[in-house]
Amino acid sequence: MPQHRFASIHVVGTNGKSSVAEMTMEVLRAHGIRAGAHVSPHSERWSERVRVDGAEIEPESFAAAVERVAESIETVDRRLGEGDAVTQFEAATAAAFVALAAARVEVGVIEAGLGGRLDATNVLPSRTTALTSVGLEHTEWLGDTVEEIAAEKLAVLGDHSTLVLGPVPDGVERLARRTAAERRAGVVAVRGLAPELTLKSPGAYQRQNFAVALACADTIVDELDPGRVTEVAAGLELRGRVEVAGTDPELVLDAAHNPDGARALAEALAEVAPDRPVVACVAVLADKDAAGILTALAGALEGIVATEIPAADLARVGRPGARALPAAELAAVAREAGIGRVEALIAPGDGVERTLALARELGGVALVCGSHYLLRYATRA
């Protein structure tokens, strides 16, 4: 099994998974460890999900891994019951494991997809599991309370391993400690932000994520070197996490797609754009809490251009069957949230262009957020 050919850190949680995974990989690399990561979703290419030594995997290497998995899928599908088949995410996860093993990484930092217990990544013999955060998400599959959702995520915790616990509600922490005790796993509870460090990525939530990443790396490295940690913090750029991607006007990309993420983004905007108006281009998938997202952002925004992502585009980037909330409906939600200036444009490219124009007119900042899948249109603007 390819996932047995490297030590693994499994990252589960509602928000912060990708950031923690990439941060942990970079801290390990700074300490001389050949590390890789598997994150999701991607923007343009499936290979974006696999990182080896800090960079996207080479196309040829990823293609070889996909070909190997494709050959195995035919055999597996024949053994499954009628109507069952290997899913797209399962195939992508298997390809990532094959690719990381072929790249001879010593440690793979693996982000879970949905939940944990039934997730395709739950085949890892992980040395460490990180629970980054817990919020109400995917309640139709994971449960109606944060404790029920946390239980699904904590199901990946292995016996005699280590649980790194990010900031979670008291009830979730009690559950986490009880689960760890049952599995004789150690617990490292991360309190507060990474101390005395300046992160290139703005926002208190990223300093919090970095603290979790340091705790994860500390379970692998005998002793973290403060100088190397400082260098990583100062140079780390994370795609789609308060990412500054343009200057005329300043353009910020963020993947916030739930209320907790939107609240963290609103706080970060105070650092990125103090005393400047922010105009946002927003698209939200239909299964997300659009009202919660826009209510969390409302106080930080001068205006919004509501847009939507075509279903065909969502299918191409790994979300077949998903749909975005129609732009007109999202605009109505924005008005209900108290955002004063609201426009709607169906085509996401047009929405980004209009947002840039408005921000330029106001001498402000353009923001693209609401869905991972919207960010790709901003990179083309």
Residues 367-378: tens digit of each pLDDT: 999 999 999 998
Q: Are 381 and 298 contacting, i.e. CB atoms less than 8 angstroms apart?
A: no
Position 1 pLDDT exceeds 70: yes
Mean pLDDT, rounded, for 355-360: 97
Instruction: Report how far apart, in Å, the C-alpha atoms of 34 and of each of 51, 164, 221, 239, 317 are.
Output: 11, 21, 12, 21, 28
pLDDT band, residue 140 (cuts 50/70/90):
low
Mean pLDDT of all residues belonging to the chain: 92
pLDDT confidence of residue 12 = 96
Whether residue 264 is predicted with pLDDT greater than 70 in this model: the reply is: yes
Check residues 42 and 59 and name the one with the higher pLDDT: 59
> pLDDT at position 381, please?
53
Rounded to the nearest 10 degrees, the angle between the axes of helix 88-102 and helix 59-79 is 130
HSE-CB at 367 with a 13 A cutoff on CA atoms is 31
Token output for 242: 């308060």
195: cis peptide before it, omega within 30°? Answer: no
- The rounded percent of the chain whose pLDDT value lies above 90 is 72
Q: Is 204 helix (H, G, I), strand (E, B) or coil?
A: helix
**Alpha-carbon distance 358 to 303, whole Å?**
9
| Residues present in the chain in total | 381
pLDDT score, position 203: 82
The CA distance from 125 to 3, in Å, is 8
**CB-facing half-sphere around the CA of 123: CA atoms within 13 A:** 12
Comparing 188-202, 268-282, 325-339, the range with the smallest average pLDDT is 188-202
Residue indicated by tokens 């990309």: 253
- What's the confidence (pLDDT) of residue 199? 85
Alpha helices in the chain (DSSP H): 17-30, 59-79, 88-102, 139-142, 146-154, 170-182, 204-218, 226-235, 259-272, 290-298, 311-316, 327-336, 348-362, 375-378
- Pairing outcome for strands 35-38 and 50-52: antiparallel
* Averaged pLDDT, 330-350: 96
The whole-number pLDDT of residue 162 equals 98
**362 vs 103: CA distance, rounded Å:** 48
- Tokens linked to 171: 């009830």
Strand order in the sheet with 303-306: 243-247, 250-253, 365-369, 278-282, 303-306, 341-344
What's the average model confidence in pLDDT over 151-167?
95
Q: β-pairing, 250-253 with 365-369?
A: parallel
What percent of the chain has a predicted confidence (pLDDT) above 70?
97
Instruction: Indicate if the pLDDT at residue 138 is higher than 70.
Output: no
Whether 213 shows a pLDDT value over 90: the answer reads yes
Cα→Cα distances 147→38, 78, 184, Å: 26, 38, 20
Average pLDDT over every residue of 103-114: 95
Rounded to two decimals, what is the model's pTM? Answer: 0.91
Bridging pattern class, strands 365-369 and 243-247: unpaired
For residues 30 and 232, the answer to whether their CB atoms sit within 8 Å is: yes
Domains delineated in the chain = 2-235 (3.40.1190.10), 243-378 (3.90.190.20)
Token pair of 273, please? 């754009």
